[in-house]
Amino acid sequence: MKTKWKKWTADYGLFLLVVIGLVAIWEWVVLAGGVPKFILPSPSSIWGSLVENRDLLLGEHLPATLLEVLIGFGFSLAGGLLFGVGMHFSRTLEKILYPFLVISQTIPLIAISPIFILWFGYTIWSKVAVTFLIAFFPIVVSTYDGLKAGGNEYGELLKTMGAGRWMIFKKIQIPMALPSFLSGLKMSVVYSVTGATIGEWLGASEGLGYFSRRMSGNLQADAVFAAILLLSLMGIALFLIISFIEKRLLKNVMRGR
């Protein structure tokens, strides 16, 4: 236990000290400088707003955003794996799909989101569509690149020994593509939070993005920052969950090999 605590403090202790220092400086600058609350609230004011609106934020808006994130990320994961593996096995599919994937990332989300609202209305699916669009690309690319780069030498060796393409894919390419794929997952799950928030900003009746937009219109900057804090914590929590899965999965793969 002590060893784990020492490792944790060695990894994150300095970061936490810097964060605490920055928060203290922020608090002092706002209070000493007389900065208006509607321009830049102090951390204590943000915390007060979070406590004051806790039932609304934690009971209604946070679950709504989290549901959009999880559904959008789930679709991105399924679609990303399907397209990534498909392009790996089919050169023709790669030539057709890859340019479209790149083009999809050049279109600003703020420009295409209204189209999703026209298609799906102000339902959860317009937010899921935005989330899918932004979170889909990292999974496709990381899956495809990982499979393409993984196990070329070992694959050729197995091929000379009579192994088929499926055997090479299962025994060599999947394990060696896992680090790339899981890195894409960590990027994607964080992007999912961004996508859901953008979707809520443009049209929603609930969610942290909707709440921050409404509070912004009321010049309640402390409430806006409270929503941003919860969004950040959500993204960090999801990232840490994927990181935990990554460590366990890679450890098991290495043991199996």
pLDDT for 109-134, tens place per residue? 788 888 888 888 888 999 999 999 99
For domain 46-256, the CATH superfamily is MetI-like (1.10.3720.10)
* pLDDT for residue 161 is more than 70: no
CB atoms within 10 A of CB 157: 13
Query: CA nearest 197: which of 120, 135, 107?
Result: 135
Residues 6+ apart with CB under 8 A from 24: none
The amino acid present at 93, given as its one-letter code, is L
Task: Map tokens 């290495």 to a residue.
Answer: 254
Position 154 confidence tier, pLDDT thresholds 50, 70, 90: low
pLDDT in tens, 37-81: 888 898 999 999 999 999 999 999 999 999 999 999 999 999 999
Q: Across the chain, how many H-helices and E-strands are there?
A: 12, 0
Task: Map tokens 């499926």 to a residue.
Answer: 166
Domain spans of the chain? Answer: 46-256
Distance (Å, whole) CA 73 – CA 82: 14
Query: Rounded mean pLDDT of the chain?
Result: 86
Distance (Å, whole) CA 128 – CA 145: 26
- Tokens of residue 100, six digits: 């479209």
* Cβ contact 21:36 at 8 Å: no
Element (H, E) at 184: helix 174-202
22 burial class (0-12, 13-18, 19+ CB within 10 angstroms)? exposed
* Cβ contact 128:69 at 8 Å: no
Residues 6+ apart with CB under 8 A from 132: 72, 75, 76, 79, 195
* Cβ contact 49:228 at 8 Å: no
pTM of the model: 0.87
* Cβ contact 72:192 at 8 Å: yes
